[in-house]
């Protein structure tokens, strides 16, 4: 993208799991970052590398103020009310996940933002057979409010792209793991990394059946994918499956417990409803020459390095 480092990159959901990591990566790559989050600092803060701004994207007027104060060249849209919270408060989820996204796209159209990169989800596909490798051409069938909102925003972005020439691209992301997820409903996504150095007995609740497959990707790899989507001058597609690792739950348990015998991974009886189990991500891999590091290898590396 021409002049991509002269304008700021706006990151929504900047204090989220992916947002925190991608903001650091963008700054290391030389970008000025406008970090937007409803849970931002009590006062807007900034320096030469960017600004941290508290803003709810469902507040169109406040969002407009941000764009008027900053020269925004591209947007990484990661803000969302997550699945469990969306089911508890569907009105709030709609305000943020749908209305907030529409606010961003409309302002981006008006001021001429070059590219909007949307953090979508593999949940747009819904449940799929265990042996079915899902491509981007697979018919979407989301089963919850979160997945339905992600699909709607993809369709909305496509409409802006076709009508107004706004360059919109969506990355469909699987279950993201790594240190710092701070999830209240799936703490295992961080625990499998953070408890590797435990000196005392520790338990990790991974409530899926042993034979289940989960599509996992490390937060560092997701951040690298988002940066590649920003850097590339021209993109060949509007939708990409994010390369993920299809991991059998029993194998994940064995690996974690073997790396630290003090850890007990307790399994349950859940199945991975609402998501595919196998993924075809060749579109992204071939276009960008990208390979995600297998999650089990990430765990082994983390265990050998120790806490940072």
* Rounded-to-integer distance, Cα 264 and Cα 260, Å: 9
- Smallest CA-to-CA distance from 8 within 57, 60, 78, 67 is with 67
Tally of CB atoms within 10 A around 184 = 9
Q: What is the pLDDT of residue 40?
A: 62
Q: Enumerate the β-bridge partners of residue 53.
A: 36
Q: Is the pLDDT of residue 308 over 50?
A: no
- Smallest CA-to-CA distance from 154 within 140, 143, 134, 165 is with 140
Helix, strand and coil content of the chain, in percent to the nearest 5, comes to: 40, 25, 35
Its pTM stands at 0.94
Strand pairing class (202-208; 239-241): unpaired
Q: What is the DSSP string of 161-192?
A: HHHH--EEEEEEE-EEESTT---SS-THHHHH
Q: What is the pLDDT of residue 6?
A: 62
Q: How do residues 27-54 score in pLDDT, each as one tens digit?
A: 999 999 999 999 865 456 666 578 999 9
Q: Is the pLDDT of residue 81 over 80?
A: yes
Q: What is the pLDDT of residue 305?
A: 77
* Rounded-to-integer distance, Cα 149 and Cα 264, Å: 36
Domain map (residue ranges) of the chain: 8-175+216-241, 178-215+245-272+293-305
- Smallest CA-to-CA distance from 36 within 59, 12, 58 is with 12
Let me know if domain 8-175+216-241 sits in CATH 3.40.50.720.
yes
Q: Is the pLDDT of residue 181 over 90?
A: no
What does each C-alpha distance from 209 to 72, 246, 252, 299 come to in angstroms?
46, 15, 12, 21
Q: How do residues 188-203 score in pLDDT, each as one tens digit?
A: 999 999 999 999 999 9
Highest-confidence segment of 66-70, 145-149, 300-304: 145-149
List phi, psi (to 5°) of 272: -85, 65
How far from the centroid of its chain's Cα atoms is residue 125's Cα? 16
The CATH-assigned architecture of domain 178-215+245-272+293-305 is Alpha-Beta Complex (3.90)
**What average pLDDT does the structure give for the chain?**
93
User: 45, 39 in Cβ contact below 8 A?
Assistant: no
Structure tokens at 278: 């196998």
Q: What is the pLDDT of residue 42?
A: 47
Residues designated as active site: 146
Q: How do residues 170-180 score in pLDDT, each as one tens digit?
A: 999 999 999 99
User: 3, 73 in Cβ contact below 8 A?
Assistant: yes
* Rounded-to-integer distance, Cα 176 and Cα 17, Å: 9
User: 230, 73 in Cβ contact below 8 A?
Assistant: no
List phi, psi (to 5°) of 209: -70, 150
Q: What is the pLDDT of residue 46?
A: 63
pLDDT > 70: percent of the chain = 94
Q: Enumerate the β-bridge partners of residue 241.
A: 172
Q: Is the pLDDT of residue 147 over 80?
A: yes
Strand pairing class (50-54; 45-47): antiparallel
* Rounded-to-integer distance, Cα 207 and Cα 106, Å: 41
**What mean pLDDT is predicted for residues 251-263?**
97
What does each C-alpha distance from 106 to 96, 101, 142, 204 come to in angstroms?
15, 9, 25, 43
Q: Is the pLDDT of residue 2 over 50?
A: no
State the Rg of the chain over Cα: 19
Q: What is the pLDDT of residue 47?
A: 64
Collapse the DSSP code of 244 into the 3-class scheme (helix H, G, I; strand E, B; otherwise coil) and give the result.
coil
Structure tokens at 91: 């009105």
């Amino acid at each position: 993208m021409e002049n991509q480092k002269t304008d700021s990159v706006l990151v929504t959901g900047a204090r989220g799991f992916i947002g925190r990591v991608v903001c650091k990566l963008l700054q290391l790559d030389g970008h000025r970052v406008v970090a937007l989050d409803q849970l931002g600092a009590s006062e807007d803060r900034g320096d030469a590398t960017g600004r941290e701004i508290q803003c709810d994207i469902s507040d169109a007027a406040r969002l407009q103020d941000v764009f008027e104060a900053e020269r925004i060249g591209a947007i990484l849209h990661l803000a969302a009310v997550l699945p469990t919270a969306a089911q508890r408060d569907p009105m709030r989820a709609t305000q943020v996940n749908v209305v907030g996204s529409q606010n961003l796209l409309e302002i981006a159209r008006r001021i001429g933002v070059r590219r909007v990169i949307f953090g979508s989800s593999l949940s747009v596909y819904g449940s799929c057979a265990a042996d079915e490798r899902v491509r981007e051409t697979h018919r979407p069938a989301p089963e919850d409010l979160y997945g339905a909102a992600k699909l709607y925003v993809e369709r909305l972005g496509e409409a802006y792209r076709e009508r107004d020439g706004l360059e919109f691209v969506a990355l469909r992301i699987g279950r993201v793991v790594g240190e710092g997820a701070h999830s209240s409903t799936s703490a295992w996504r961080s625990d499998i990394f953070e408890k590797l150095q435990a000196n005392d007995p520790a338990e990790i609740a991974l409530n899926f059946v042993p034979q289940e497959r989960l599509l996992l990707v490390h937060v560092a790899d997701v951040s690298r994918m988002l940066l590649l989507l920003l850097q590339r001058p021209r993109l060949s597609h509007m939708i990409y499956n994010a390369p993920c690792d299809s991991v059998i739950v029993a194998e994940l348990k064995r690996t974690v417990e073997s790396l630290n015998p003090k850890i007990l991974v307790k399994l349950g009886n859940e199945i991975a409803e609402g998501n595919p189990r196998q993924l075809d991500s060749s579109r992204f891999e071939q276009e960008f020459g990208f390979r995600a590091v297998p999650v089990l290898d990430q765990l082994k590396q983390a265990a050998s390095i120790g806490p940072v």
